Amino acid sequence: MHAERRRRFLETMGRNAVAILIGARPARRSADTDYPFRQDSDFHYLTGFDHPNAIAVLRTDGGPSLTLFVEPRDPEAETWTGYRPGVEGACRDYGADEAHAGHAFLEMLPKLLEGAGRVHHVLGRDAEIDAKLVATLEEFRLRSRRGIVPAETIVDPRAVLHEMRLFKEPGELDIMRQAAAITAEAHREAARVARGGSFEYELEAALGYTFRRRGATGPAYPSIVGGGRNATILHYVTNDQKLEDGSLVLIDAGCELRGYASDVTRTYPVGGSFQGPARAVYEVVLAAQEASLEAARPGATLPQVHEASVRVLTEGLVELGLLEGDPAELVAREAYRPYYMHQTSHWLGLDVHDVGNYSVDGEPRRLEPGMVFTVEPGLYVPADDAGAETRFRGIGVRIEDDVVVTAEGHENLTAAIPKHPEDVEAWMR
């Protein structure tokens, strides 16, 4: 899988090219404690080598096509921080043609760059490597009379890599389906706890517990559990307030499984039944989400998916009395924005806001089979919105699914998580 991706990546590099990819470094949380290690997504995509402080060099000039620089085996360090594949493991288990200890990288860089006409490298990640790279190319220039020609161009490899990552392989889709199944179970466990008097963190704990119990790494992004007016804060992650019967609780949570994110929002009625203005707002968002899903098919664009939501949300806002006027005219002047301020979709994959260009030649790109994205309209009535009827203030609703474009339309990866009011209510019972 990784070897096949490297083959495709190498094909695009052209002859006499060298690519340098830098893996993630440990990140300090506080004092002497690090965050749990997470490999850089591009590095993982091409190598599957999920250990800290690694560097990969790919080349098309006839030398070894994959050289890995890794932390060498060290029994004493491994007693503290765990197994390292080391130099031998890098070749044996990760398909490296050659491997070296990481500390040899800077010293070996001139040798690695000799003869390369193009260098694929992300500038700005590591100042020391950038400086050595630039100094080496300068040195080659000074020695050019002796036949050493410095590379003419430094190319950002992400353009190609991110285009590759945008189109998911069948194996990636299998993982994303499994991630969706785990996320579905986690939402059900959290919804069970959504009663008056429960705290938001109890729902967050049910999500996290289910993710881990089913073998996922954990949440793909900090879980959002917003009860009542907290649902109107888009990235609310404090999750420490008490839920009230008759209100709503918005849960935006998805697991990361083998590197892949799921990203699902449901808005549940605390106590188990949708009531009054909350139900009315909910039904508008649900209709908008269904309209957007309808638009999610090959040949369409994400702005079209977004426009479908905007149209239905704006009509709904007029019916609810939150906006006044002709819906088409309100859409034209974006009058919905105080209540719907974000986009409807983003790419999804190894990163929750995944890579891939949203436009091509200045035009929104057309959807093609294998692309995965979210569909997540919402309505958020600020608690202090003097222009809104009191009964609507502080209501926030979002409904988010993950879809993959297919030849015929799309597959909704997260369809198993109920969203029709009766289904949600039955599920919660």
Q: Which of 172, 256, 263, 402 is catalytic?
A: 263
Rounded CA separation 211/236 (Å) = 20
Rounded CA separation 349/260 (Å) = 5
* Residue 21 · residue 55 · CB < 8 Å: yes
- Position among 263, 315, 351, 402 found at the interface with Mn ion (CB under 5 A): 263
Which residues, numbered 3-22, are part of the site for Mn ion (CB under 5 A)?
none
Per the annotation, the verdict on 376 as an active-site residue is: yes
Per the annotation, the verdict on 389 as an active-site residue is: no
Return the axis-axis angle of helices 170-192 and 421-428, rounded to nearest 10°: 70
Q: Which does 220 bind (CB under 5 to 8 A by kind): ligand GLY, Mn ion, none?
A: none
- Position among 37, 167, 221, 358 found at the interface with ligand GLY (CB under 6 A): 221
Which is nearer to ligand GLY, 177 or 346 (by Cβ)? 346
Task: Catalogue the long-range contacts made by 288-292 (C-beta closer than 8 Å, 24 or more residues apart).
Answer: 288/312, 288/313, 288/316, 288/377, 289/375, 289/376, 289/377, 289/399, 289/400, 289/401, 289/419, 292/344, 292/345, 292/375, 292/377
Q: Which of 172, 376, 401, 402 is catalytic?
A: 376
* Residue 133 · residue 113 · CB < 8 Å: yes
The stretches of 150-253 forming alpha helices (DSSP H) are 158-166, 170-192, 200-213
Q: Which of 15, 145, 235, 333 is catalytic?
A: 235
Residues 6+ apart with CB under 8 A from 169: 1, 370
Q: Which does 221 bind (CB under 5 to 8 A by kind): ligand GLY, Mn ion, none?
A: ligand GLY
CB of 353 to ligand GLY, least distance (A): 6
Q: Which does 172 bind (CB under 5 to 8 A by kind): Mn ion, ligand GLY, none?
A: none
Which is nearer to ligand GLY, 256 or 376 (by Cβ)? 376
Which residues, numbered 333-362, are part of the site for ligand GLY (CB under 6 A)?
346, 352
Which is nearer to ligand GLY, 40 or 376 (by Cβ)? 376
- Position among 263, 315, 351, 354 found at the interface with ligand GLY (CB under 6 A): 263
Find where tokens 């909910």 sit: 282
- Does residue 252 touch ligand GLY according to CB under 6 A? yes
Per the annotation, the verdict on 346 as an active-site residue is: yes
CB of 401 to ligand GLY, least distance (A): 11
Q: List the structure tokens of 271.
A: 């106590």
CB of 265 to Mn ion, least distance (A): 5
- Does residue 376 touch ligand GLY according to CB under 6 A? yes
* Residue 161 · residue 396 · CB < 8 Å: no
3-state SS string over 339-372?
CCCCCCCCECCCCCCCCCCCEECCEECECCCCEE
Residues 6+ apart with CB under 8 A from 337: none
Q: Which of 380, 401, 402, 410 is catalytic?
A: 380
Per the annotation, the verdict on 32 as an active-site residue is: yes
- Checking phi first, is residue 48 left (phi over 0); if not, alpha (psi -120 to 50) or beta? left
- Does residue 309 touch Mn ion according to CB under 5 A? no
Which residues, numbered 363-402, are part of the site for Mn ion (CB under 5 A)?
374, 400
Q: Which among 231, 225, 174 has a CA at the least distance from the CA of 201? A: 225
Rounded CA separation 57/17 (Å) = 10
CB of 264 to ligand GLY, least distance (A): 9
CB of 362 to ligand GLY, least distance (A): 25
Find where tokens 């993950």 sit: 402
Which is nearer to ligand GLY, 172 or 263 (by Cβ)? 263
Report which residue type is found at 59.
R
Per the annotation, the verdict on 162 as an active-site residue is: no
Which is nearer to Mn ion, 348 or 381 (by Cβ)? 348
CB of 234 to ligand GLY, least distance (A): 8
Which is nearer to ligand GLY, 136 or 374 (by Cβ)? 374
Which backbone phi and psi does 196 adopt, to 5 degrees? Answer: -55, 135
Which backbone phi and psi does 257 adopt, to 5 degrees? Answer: -120, 120
CB of 358 to ligand GLY, least distance (A): 14
Query: Which chain residues interact with ligand GLY by CB under 6 A?
Result: 221, 252, 263, 346, 352, 376, 400
Catalytic residues: 32, 235, 252, 263, 342, 346, 353, 376, 380, 398, 400
Query: Which chain residues interact with Mn ion by CB under 5 A?
Result: 252, 263, 265, 374, 400
